[in-house]
Amino acid sequence: MDIGSYDGVMFEQLKDLISEGTGIDPTLKEKIKGSNYTLIPGYFPKDLQEDQLFDSITMLAVLEHIPPNIHESFSAGCARCLKPGGKLIITVPSPQVDHILAVLKFFKLIDGMSLEEHYGFETSMTPQIFSKPHFKLFKHKTFQFGLNNLFVFERS
């Protein structure tokens, strides 16, 4: 499962490594069927079928777009949809990235990216959102000169 799948580029990149996948994204206008994946328009978890279970869930640069008032239900949705022992893989940019993106947007070097949804999410909050009893932090590391964070949680 890829939350915030956009146009399915991750599935296209991994198509020879995965048997099947599901993506969900609110910017999609209609359901898209790829060679071994399906993209669903909508919001996670409310627009996903209740009975779907996944080996892994990815959220790449998505959590900073999720309003704080739904963090608890969002985390519960991840726990509900992830098989025991499954991995929740999250990347979260450091807050400094918002300043860099603002400059790039000012000079019209980037467009889109839903920057208006960023609210200064603190990466240190991530382990609290995905905490016990449902998740255990498996790995955390920074990359891209400390401007990005990788969190891997394991479903209890």
* pLDDT tens, position by position, 59-117: 999 999 899 999 999 999 999 999 999 999 999 998 777 677 777 778 888 765 565 55
Q: Where are the alpha helices (DSSP H) in 15-136?
A: 71-81, 96-106, 126-129
Distance CA 139, CA 122 (A): 18
Classified as helix, coil or strand, 101 is: helix
Residue with tokens 């990347």: 91
Say how many C-beta atoms besides its own lie within 10 A of residue 154's C-beta: 16
Residue 128: the pLDDT is 96
pTM score? 0.89
What sections of the chain are H helices per DSSP? 9-14, 71-81, 96-106, 126-129
> Which domains are assigned to the chain?
2-155 (3.40.50.150)
In 3-state terms, what secondary structure has residue 78?
helix
From residue 19, how far is each of 6, 12, 40 by CA, in Å? 20, 12, 18
